[in-house]
């Protein structure tokens, strides 16, 4: 050993690249000792370029390393590697290649089979066992030029020389660990699964399959977009649980006594199937909520017997426009034939409080009165109200003229209150005005400017409040939908925002809910969270706190027609990173998702997809998946996933861990 070699050896004593040095030295000892049964040597380079290389190998070499499946990884090193700084190039096997003697071999095979020779002589066998593999360069590993004890990865090669000056090896588990995990961030690491090159688990004699954990960092998910593609029942939800679990553990690993928002990740899971909120014993599936009960809060529209949850409701009084639209959707879907007065009620345009603020005084009074009529209907149907909420929106006084009121109350022999201050008083007054308005024997009711006091929408609301026929259901029609109402629901958003600030995971159990209800809650909460983060950003208070949103059936929220994407989801997908908002979205088909979102997605998890056009689209979207098209189409094992994260420079095939069978792997140190 010369002085230079000795100096380099000492400098790299604790360097990760030492794994390569030890591997090559061990291979040299095997070669010199003729221990070919454990030799990791694969072959020589037949042809080389900057993007691809053709490898010449033999059956004996392939059997000794346990086989070389398609998409497996190989390393290429200089034949005289001791003359250079330790480094290696990473190759991915694309398939077989034509070797120079292909035609001669085929002719030999043909002659042998024609003569039905049972055995090959040793010389012929030696000639026929050689073949070639086509590989692609994924990049190069070498010591970081500025940082000590750090590996650097480049996606290209700095130089190539003659093909015969390279050796190719099948990496050991230690080298595979270096290849897969050395380029991850140095903190917040967790094991997501095991490296798995093939669906087939048949081992060659005296060989073992790779046993290499795949480590990823939660830093890759915070504030980024993560896609889950694949058919139903292929393990997408399991991966989502593992990611959510890792972010919970990240918050635990980085506690802050001065500011609880520091180093924390709040999460919101829109659980349309109830699988994150509720255990499923039939599927041997543990929910995230039960596994981390102290870290998760479940909000449910329909509470489940064995799941502790809080009510997920809408305050119909605070959101008159939305709740009225929701009632219309629910009632129309339940009944195809409706009475005219019910159809008229459902067709009314109830204004929002925000829109009223932009109106002039006269229009504002009329619009407020419509809301009060709607409130009276809710009250008569038994929807409880929060008095402070009613006061916040201006109270319950419809502000009819005093002379009109006095005349109507006296005609009905009733005592007129000076001001309407309760819902009961409002209901009585509107009932009296409704009956007076439909009395054709008396002059019509007019406003101060001699216009009709009630327009057609007002009359439709009053007709529903006080039906002409005693047999008509009126407000009783909306009784079944009280399950969606909660008078204190306005505090529900504030409560969730506070919990997210503390790093809690919120699971909205939307299972068995009407799609319109699911859509409302998803939009409402997403909008509130986005606005909250924007406010923190403007006040420079984001710190390193993040919020992660999880959407299933994402094609409904982010359709491929970008003009149909709801503005709040569009803003989250485009601007979320700036406001520390990350998102994980799941769907079966890449083609059904907004192109803008796909183009900005950093992390991909792909299970089995059965449609070639869909996989082709994925490959066009991200070239890293080009060589994996056939595997994605053919392999159907549950949990067999091809992952590409922000830190990974190439796709890694893994067998994902089963949720709640994992242990956090902290490799930060």
Residue 106 CB-density burial (10 A; 0-12 exposed, 13-18 middle, 19+ buried): exposed
Coil, helix or strand for 450? Answer: coil
User: pLDDT at position 387, please?
Assistant: 92
Closest Cα to residue 99, out of 44, 143, 49?
Answer: 44
Distance of CA 249 to the CA centre of its chain: 18
Rounded to 5 degrees, φ, ψ at 7 are -65, -45
Domain limits, the chain: 3-182, 218-312+489-626, 320-484
pLDDT value at residue 262: 64
pTM of the shown model: 0.84
Mean pLDDT, consecutive 10-residue segments, the chain of 669 residues?
48 86 94 89 91 91 92 94 92 87 56 50 55 93 92 93 91 96 91 95 87 96 96 93 94 65 86 91 81 94 88 91 91 89 95 90 90 97 95 95 93 94 96 92 86 93 93 93 87 88 94 84 91 95 93 89 78 93 94 89 96 93 91 94 95 94 45
Residue 7's pLDDT is 45
HEC sequence for 171-233 = CCHHHHHHHHHCCCCCCCEEEEEEECCCCCCCCCCCCCCCCCEEEEEHHHCCCCEEEEECCCC
Best CA proximity match to 584, nearest among 208, 245, 232, 104: 245
pLDDT number for residue 4:
45
Residue by residue, DSSP assigns 224-274 as: SEEEEE--TTSSHHHHHHHHHHHHHHHHHHS--SS-TTTT-EEEEEEESSS
Q: What is the pLDDT of residue 127?
A: 53
How far, in Å, are 17, 219, 305 from residue 149 at the CA level? 8, 21, 54
What interhelical angle do 515-538 and 490-501 show, nearest 10?
A: 50
At residue 102, the pLDDT reads 56
CATH architecture of 218-312+489-626: 3-Layer(aba) Sandwich (3.40)
Alpha-carbon distance of 172 to 545, in angstroms, equals 39
CB 93 within 8 Å of CB 72: yes
């Amino acid at each position: 050993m010369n002085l230079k070699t000795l100096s380099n050896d000492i400098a790299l004593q604790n360097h990760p690249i030492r794994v390569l040095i030890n591997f090559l030295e061990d291979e040299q000892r095997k070669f010199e000792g003729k221990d070919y049964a454990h030799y990791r040597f694969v072959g020589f380079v037949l042809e080389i370029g900057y993007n691809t290389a053709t490898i010449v190998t033999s059956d004996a070499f392939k059997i000794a390393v346990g086989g070389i499946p398609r998409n497996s990884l190989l390393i290429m090193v200089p034949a005289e590697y001791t003359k250079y700084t330790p480094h290696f190039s990473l190759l991915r096997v694309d398939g077989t290649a034509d070797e120079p003697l292909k035609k001669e071999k085929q002719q030999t095979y043909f002659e042998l089979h024609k003569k039905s020779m049972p055995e090959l002589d040793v010389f012929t066998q030696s000639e026929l066992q050689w073949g070639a593999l086509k590989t692609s360069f994924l990049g190069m590993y070498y010591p970081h030029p500025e940082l000590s004890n750090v590996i650097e990865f480049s996606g290209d090669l700095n130089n190539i020389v003659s093909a015969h000056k390279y050796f190719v090896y099948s990496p050991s588990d230690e080298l595979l660990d270096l290849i897969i995990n050395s380029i991850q961030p140095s903190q917040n690491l967790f094991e997501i699964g095991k490296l798995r090159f093939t669906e087939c688990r048949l081992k060659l004699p005296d060989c073992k399959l790779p046993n290499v954990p795949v480590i990823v960092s939660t830093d890759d998910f915070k504030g980024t977009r993560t896609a889950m593609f694949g058919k139903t029942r292929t393990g997408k939800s399991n991966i989502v649980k593992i990611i959510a679990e890792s972010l919970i553990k990240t918050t635990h690993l980085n506690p802050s006594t001065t500011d609880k928002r520091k180093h924390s990740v709040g999460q919101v899971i829109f659980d349309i199937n109830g699988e994150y909120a509720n255990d499923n014993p039939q599927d041997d599936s543990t929910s995230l909520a039960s596994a981390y009960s102290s870290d998760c809060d479940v909000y449910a529209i329909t509470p489940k017997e064995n799941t502790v949850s809080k009510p997920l409701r809408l305050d119909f009084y605070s959101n008159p426009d939305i709740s009225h639209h929701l009632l219309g959707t629910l009632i129309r879907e339940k009944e195809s034939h409706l009475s005219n007065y019910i159809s008229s009620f459902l067709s009314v345009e109830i204004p929002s409080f925000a829109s009223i603020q932009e109106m002039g005084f006269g229009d504002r009074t009329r619009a407020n009165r419509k809301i009060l009529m709607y409130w009276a209907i809710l009250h008569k149907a038994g929807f409880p109200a929060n008095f402070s909420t009613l006061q916040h929106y201006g109270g319950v006084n419809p502000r009819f003229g005093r002379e009109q009121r006095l005349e109507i109350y006296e005609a009905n022999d009733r005592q007129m209150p000076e001001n309407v201050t309760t819902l009961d008083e409002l209901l009585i007054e509107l009932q009296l005005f409704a009956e007076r308005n439909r009395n054709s024997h008396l002059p019509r009711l007019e406003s101060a400017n001699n216009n009709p006091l009630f327009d057609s929408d007002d009359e439709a609301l009053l007709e529903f409040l006080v039906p002409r026929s005693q047999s008509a259901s009126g407000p009783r029609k909306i009784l079944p939908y009280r399950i969606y109402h909660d008078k204190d629901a306005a505090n529900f958003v504030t409560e969730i925002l506070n919990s997210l600030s503390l790093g809690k995971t919120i699971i909205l159990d939307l299972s068995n809910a009407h799609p319109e209800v699911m859509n409302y809650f998803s939009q409402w909460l997403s909008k509130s969270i986005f606005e909250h983060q924007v406010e923190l950003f403007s006040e420079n208070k984001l710190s390193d706190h993040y919020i992660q949103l999880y959407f299933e059936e994402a094609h409904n929220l982010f359709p491929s027609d970008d003009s149909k994407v709801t503005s709040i989801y569009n803003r989250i997908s485009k601007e979320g990173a700036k406001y520390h908002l990350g998102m994980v979205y799941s769907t079966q088909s890449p083609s059904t998702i907004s192109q803008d979102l796909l183009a900005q997605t950093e992390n991909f998890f792909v299970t089995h997809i059965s449609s070639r056009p869909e996989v082709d689209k994925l490959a066009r979207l991200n070239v890293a998946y080009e060589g994996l098209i056939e595997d994605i189409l053919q392999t159907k094992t549950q949990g067999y996933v091809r992952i590409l994260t922000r830190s990974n420079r190439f796709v890694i095939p893994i067998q994902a861990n089963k949720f709640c069978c994992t242990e956090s792997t902290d490799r930060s140190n």
